[in-house]
């Protein structure tokens, strides 16, 4: 995208863990801005890249249609604890102002929101936060980009685990991502009809987990979803349960496969609606405010509203 005078300068970055749907949002936004008076800048490697000045004008080197379908983030992402330092943030703000960037769009989870809030308040720059995390735990939205795709990936993996477990009459512990959120684990448990599961919100100690499984000891196969970081070792947990249940118990950590995969229809669809609302804010709002975009549960098609923080 060639820089044009008298156009609004907008920058976009992705931060924290990558999430399916990030590229979809970027692709849809590029499509919208093709007919708007906007110069779009891409920031590489999140807030780290912003601080280091890795900011480039968008050059149409890639098919937008491909970008909408592509997993991950073309902008790359990173975690940058140094951003807690005000002097580091000051450099990031200077890099935006040197390029006359009046709006910053950020995609990520809770950490991204907190960093965005500081940029807005300290730099007096309009910031628009897009909920994008497989953990689906941003406080300002009922849904975050990537959650549906991640659940589909998990579901497909657990289907495979189930059938091998059935061949051996085993209980299978399946560890999901989520950090401090049990959303992925809970949705998996509900969709598979799992009788026993453990999350940060509904934590079962090894002893309580054993007690619950004793109630279902007659079952030949069980999938036991748990959220990551709850236990020191899921292998040791499986060994403990096997010894006390007197039956085979195995453990599988799904790991980073959960972040991959082509964005689902729903994540592409929601990313389009989010991009439209973000574009409207940029063209209609000139104040240096912090905006969060909310996807509501009640109506997946019309339930996107803008909230001011």
pLDDT at 305: 38
Q: How far lies 47's CA from each of 41, 89, 107, in Å?
A: 14, 9, 11
- Listed in sequence order, the residues at least 6 apart from 140 whose beta carbon sits closer than 8 Å to its beta carbon are 113, 129, 131, 292, 294, 307, 309
**What pLDDT does 299 receive?**
43
* 109: DSSP letter: S
Domain ranges in the chain are 8-146+263-308, 147-259
The CATH number of 147-259 is 3.40.50.460
Copy the structure tokens of residue 121.
């308040």
Strands 304-308 and 290-295: antiparallel
**Phi and psi at residue 295, to the nearest 5°:** -100, 120
CB hemisphere CA count around 54 (13 angstroms)? 13
Matching CATH topology for 8-146+263-308 and 147-259?
A: yes
Using CA atoms, how far apart are residues 86 and 157, in angstroms rounded to an integer? 43
Q: What are the E-state strand segments in the chain? A: 8-14, 38-43, 55-57, 103-108, 126-131, 171-176, 222-227, 249-253, 290-295, 304-308
Q: Which residues face 304 on adjacent strands? A: 295
- For residues 250 and 238, the answer to whether their CB atoms sit within 8 Å is yes
Q: Which residue in 18, 45, 135, 267 is the catalytic one?
A: 135
Q: Minimal CA–CA distance to 295: which of 120, 70, 118, 129? A: 129
Q: Are strands 222-227 and 249-253 parallel, antiparallel or unpaired?
A: unpaired
Q: From first to last of its 309 residues, what are the pLDDT tens digits of the chain?
A: 444 555 789 999 999 999 999 999 999 999 998 877 889 999 999 999 999 999 998 866 567 878 899 999 999 998 888 889 999 999 999 999 999 999 999 999 999 999 999 999 899 899 999 999 999 998 888 999 999 999 999 999 999 999 999 999 999 999 999 988 999 999 999 999 999 999 999 999 999 999 999 999 889 999 999 999 999 999 999 999 999 999 999 999 999 999 988 999 999 999 999 999 999 888 776 666 888 888 876 444 333 434 444
pLDDT of residue 295: 85
Q: Is 135 designated active site?
A: yes
CATH of domain 8-146+263-308: 3.40.50.450
């Amino acid at each position: 995208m060639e820089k044009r005078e008298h156009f609004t300068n907008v920058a976009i970055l992705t931060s924290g863990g990558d999430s399916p749907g990030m590229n979809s949002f970027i692709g849809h936004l590029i499509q919208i801005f093709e007919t708007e008076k906007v110069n779009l800048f891409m920031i590489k490697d999140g807030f780290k890249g912003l601080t280091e000045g890795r900011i480039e004008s968008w050059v149409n080197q890639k098919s937008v249609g491909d970008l909408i379908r592509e997993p991950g983030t073309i902008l790359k992402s990173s975690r940058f604890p140094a951003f807690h330092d005000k002097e580091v943030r000051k450099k990031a703000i200077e890099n935006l102002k040197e390029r006359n960037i009046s709006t910053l769009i950020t995609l990520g989870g809770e950490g991204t929101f907190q960093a965005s809030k500081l940029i807005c308040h300290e730099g007096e720059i309009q910031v628009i936060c897009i909920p994008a995390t497989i953990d689906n735990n941003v406080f300002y939205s009922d849904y975050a980009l990537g959650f549906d795709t991640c659940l589909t990936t998990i579901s497909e993996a657990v289907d495979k685990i189930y059938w091998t477990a059935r061949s051996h009459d085993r209980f299978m512990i399946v560890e999901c991502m989520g950090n401090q959120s049990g959303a992925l684990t809970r949705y998996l448990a509900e969709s598979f009809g799992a009788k026993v599961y453990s999350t940060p919100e509904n934590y079962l100690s090894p002893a309580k987990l054993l007690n619950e499984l004793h109630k279902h000891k007659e079952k030949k196969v069980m999938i036991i979803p748990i959220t990551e970081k709850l236990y020191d070792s899921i292998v040791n947990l499986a060994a403990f349960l096997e010894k006390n249940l007197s039956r085979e118990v195995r453990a599988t950590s799904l790991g980073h496969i959960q972040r991959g995969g082509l964005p689902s229809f729903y994540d592409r669809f929601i990313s389009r609606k989010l991009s439209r609302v973000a574009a409207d804010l940029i063209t209609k709002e000139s104040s240096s405010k912090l905006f969060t975009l909310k996807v509501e549960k009640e109506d997946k098609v019309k339930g996107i509203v803008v909230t001011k923080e």
